[in-house]
C-alpha cells in the first residue's frame, strides 16, 4: 500500500515537473503584444518577432500612431481585445508609458519594459526625461510647426542606435515616426505595474534615456531588472537578450 502511494506521488511529481517544463517552454502565455516607441515603428522588432514566433508564440506588433497618449493606449487596447488569452505586453521607450496605462487591460498578464519609461499614476514622461542630465549624443529636436517631434539626423546613430550598422541606422532614421510633443506632458491615468508582474531591461549604453533613470524607475516599482549592454534600440541590436526576458515573463520566471 505504501509503495503504491509513493508510486502515485512520484507520478504526480513527474507530471507537475513536466507541466512546469511545458509552461517554461511554451510560456503558458502564448500571446505577446509589442508597443514600439517614438522615432521608430514596429519594423525594428523583426528580430525579436522571428525568435519568439519560432518558439511558438503569437506575436503582434502595435503600430501606434504617436499622436497622443490616449490614442496610443486605444490602439494598443484594440490589439489586446483581439488576443485569445493571457498576454505579455511589451513596451520600448515611450511605449513603456503606453503599456503602463494600457496594461490594466484584463488580458494582460505581465509587462516588459525595454529601455522604457515607467511612470506612476499622475506622472508624465517629462518628469523622468528630465530627471537626470541628457547624454551629449542625445538628439531630440523641439516640436515643429505642427507640434511633432523628430530625432536629429546627425545624432541619430550615436544617440539612438549606436550598435547598429550604418545601413540599419539609415533605414531606421528614414522610417522614423515623429511623436506629438504634447504626449510627453500627458499624465498617466493608471499604473498597471502596480497590479501586474513587471520585467525591465536596462540598456547600459543608452544615450536617449539615461540608464540610471531606467534603473530608478524599475527599482521604485520592484520590477525584475535585467541589464544588457546595448544602445537605446536594444531590441534591434540584442534581439536574443530581449526575447529571453519576454519568454521569462511569459513563463512567470
Q: Would you tell me how many other CB atoms lie within 10 Å of the CB of residue 200? A: 25
Q: What is the pLDDT of residues 211-223, one digit of tens each?
A: 999 999 999 999 9
**What is the pTM (predicted TM-score) of this model?**
0.88
Lowest-pLDDT range of 17-21, 54-58, 80-84, 201-205: 17-21
In this model, does residue 9 exceed pLDDT 60?
A: no
Q: What is the pLDDT of residues 180-200, one digit of tens each?
A: 999 999 999 999 999 999 999
Per-residue confidence (pLDDT) for residue 195, from 0 to 100: 98
Separation of alpha carbons 138 and 134, rounded Å: 6
Structural domains in the chain plus CATH codes? 29-250 (3.40.50.1820)
Contact 119, 221 (CB under 8 A): no
Q: What is the pLDDT of residues 135-166, one digit of tens each?
A: 989 999 999 999 999 999 999 999 999 999 99
Amino acid at each position: 500500500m505504501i509503495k503504491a502511494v509513493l508510486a502515485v506521488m512520484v507520478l504526480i511529481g513527474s507530471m507537475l515537473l513536466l507541466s512546469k517544463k511545458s509552461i517554461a517552454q511554451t510560456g503558458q502565455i502564448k500571446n505577446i503584444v509589442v508597443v514600439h516607441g517614438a522615432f521608430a515603428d514596429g519594423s525594428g522588432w523583426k528580430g525579436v518577432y522571428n525568435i519568439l514566433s519560432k518558439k511558438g508564440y503569437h506575436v503582434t506588433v502595435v503600430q501606434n500612431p504617436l499622436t497622443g497618449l490616449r490614442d496610443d493606449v486605444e490602439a494598443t487596447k484594440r490589439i489586446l481585445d483581439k488576443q485569445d488569452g493571457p498576454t505579455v505586453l511589451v513596451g520600448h521607450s515611450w511605449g513603456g508609458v503606453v503599456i503602463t496605462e494600457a496594461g490594466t487591460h484584463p488580458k494582460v498578464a505581465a509587462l516588459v519594459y525595454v529601455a522604457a519609461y515607467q511612470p506612476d499614476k499622475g506622472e508624465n514622461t517629462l518628469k523622468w526625461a528630465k530627471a537626470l542630465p541628457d547624454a551629449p549624443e542625445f538628439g531630440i529636436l523641439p516640436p515643429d510647426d505642427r507640434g511633432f517631434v523628430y530625432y536629429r539626423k546627425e545624432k541619430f546613430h550615436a544617440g539612438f542606435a549606436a550598435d547598429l550598422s550604418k545601413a540599419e541606422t539609415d533605414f531606421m532614421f528614414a522610417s522614423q515616426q515623429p511623436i506629438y510633443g504634447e504626449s510627453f506632458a500627458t499624465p498617466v491615468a493608471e499604473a498597471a505595474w502596480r497590479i501586474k508582474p513587471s520585467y525591465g531591461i536596462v540598456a547600459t549604453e543608452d544615450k536617449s534615456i539615461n540608464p540610471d533613470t531606467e534603473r530608478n524607475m524599475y527599482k521604485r516599482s520592484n520590477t525584475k531588472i535585467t541589464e544588457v549592454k546595448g544602445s537605446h534600440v536594444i531590441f534591434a541590436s540584442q534581439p536574443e537578450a530581449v526575447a529571453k526576458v519576454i519568454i521569462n515573463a511569459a513563463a512567470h520566471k
